[in-house]
Amino acid sequence: MGNGIGINKLILNFEIKILQTHFLIIIIILKKQNSIVLISYPSVAIVILNWNGKTHLQQFLPSVFNSNYPNLQIIVGDNDSTDESVDFLTEFFPLVKIIKNEKNFGFAEGYNKVLNQVNADYFILLNSDVEVTPDWILPVINLMENDPKIAIAQPKIKAYYRKTHFEYAGAAGCFIDSLAYPFCRGRLFDFVEEDKGQYDTNKEIFWAAGCALFIKAAVWQKLKGLDEAFFAHMEEIDLCWRAKNLGYRVMYCGQSTIYHVGGGTLSVESPFKTYLNFRNNHYLIKKNIPPTQANILIIVRFFLDFLALIKFLFEGKKQNAFAVSKAHRHVIKAFFYGQIKYNRHIIKQANTVGRYGGSVVWDYFVLGKKRFSEIWR
């Protein structure tokens, strides 16, 4: 009973915010030199892609409803869930717009199909296992509105179960090294830093984490969304890389904070996740690096991947080792049949900010550098 009353209050508060938007949009009257300036907030759509995530929706959707942004719509795209997620939303969150996919299309294709049906100035791709703070939206929108070249951004991402520390997936913005290994400011491999305000300043990054990714709708449409060949994992890196290859900027906003559980769909130890990460990393290289350089890099990465396979075997993780081998077989097949091709739509002034010229693997495992500040000045 108490849960139902609490949800009804959330719905009432959200209805009030919608009414405020309709009356004001939001209108601020500034009197300066006897002139009146009308300021309106860009429309924002929070889009949560759900697959059997009823438990997460119950826990975290109320925080999304408490977001302090006036021109806002909340949408759940459902990948054919079988856990009564849709029934739960219909009963307890009637203001949420539900867009149903006829099957589980994965993260990339699932979002593409849902966002084709959404009309807004900005899209926020938000994971279902994220708790947001009330004022998390406006600082990011203000940052993006101030520069037409900023296409994508992310907030500060901290760990839900360890809120003093950054979260593994995203932290304080994401980068990539010379061997195409992704890493984060605030998290290198398994070492996660405590948030002591060291990364509170806004910063241009290479890619934004997909658990809370802000993107201008016009850029999303120009890029034709996520590459569906990825299915899930690293598709947001590819999206950001393609945007930067067209000269756009990707930013981290230190004035916005969210808390991410992580592993809501696939656990860190999942062999399928291992397979996707190793396969998709090669897809990134093939698509976004000039062919001659990419071919050399892929050979180097195959060797390094083999070392990772040996490491999995020594740790007793045979399924993960097999996943690396399977990824390699599928990469070779995809390249042979031309399923993954070099992106030729790269301008001469492609934006390379956020690419690290060294090797984060060497820095971390050989030189013992654990913090972002130790490798990036």
Least confident piece of the model among 18-32, 80-94, 211-225, 313-327: 18-32
Which of 221, 241, 260 marks a domain boundary?
Answer: 260
Same domain, 139 and 170: yes
CB 151 within 8 A of CB 165: no
Query: Do residue 237 and residue 276 come from a single domain?
Result: no
Q: 3-state DSSP: the chain helix, strand, coil percent, rounded to 5?
A: 40, 20, 35
327-355 tens-digit pLDDT: 999 999 999 999 999 988 788 789 999 99
Task: Note down the domain range covering 280.
Answer: 271-375
Overall number of domains in the chain: 2
Mark whether 220 and 304 lie in a shared domain. Answer: no
Q: Which of 260, 282, 304 is the last residue of a domain?
A: 260
pLDDT score for 349: 82
Confidence of residue 207 (pLDDT cuts 50, 70, 90): very high
Query: Is the per-residue pLDDT at 32 higher than 80?
Result: no
The DSSP secondary-structure symbol of 102 reads: S
Any idea what DSSP says for residue 110?
A: H
Q: Is the dihedral of CA 98, 110, 130, 223 positive or negative?
A: negative
Could you tell me if residue 233 is inside a domain?
yes
Confidence of residue 27 (pLDDT cuts 50, 70, 90): very low
Q: What is the pLDDT of residue 5?
A: 54
Q: How far apart are CA 215 and CA 45, in angstroms?
A: 10
Average per-residue pLDDT for the chain: 90
**Residues 220 and 242 both lie in one domain:** yes
Domain boundary among 207, 237, 260: 260
Amino acid 262: pLDDT: 84
User: pTM for the complete prediction?
Assistant: 0.88
Regarding predicted confidence, which is higher, 54 or 12? 54
**Do residue 305 and residue 248 come from a single domain?**
no
Model confidence at 303, pLDDT cuts 50, 70, 90, reads very high
Q: Is residue 54, in this structure, part of any structural domain at all?
A: yes
Q: Say what the pLDDT of residue 12 is.
A: 54
Is residue 6 predicted with pLDDT exceeding 80?
no
3-class state of residue 283 by DSSP:
helix
Alpha carbons 308 and 313: distance in angstroms, whole number: 9
Main-chain dihedrals φ then ψ at residue 142, nearest 5 degrees = -60, -45
What would the two tokens of residue 61 be? 């959707």
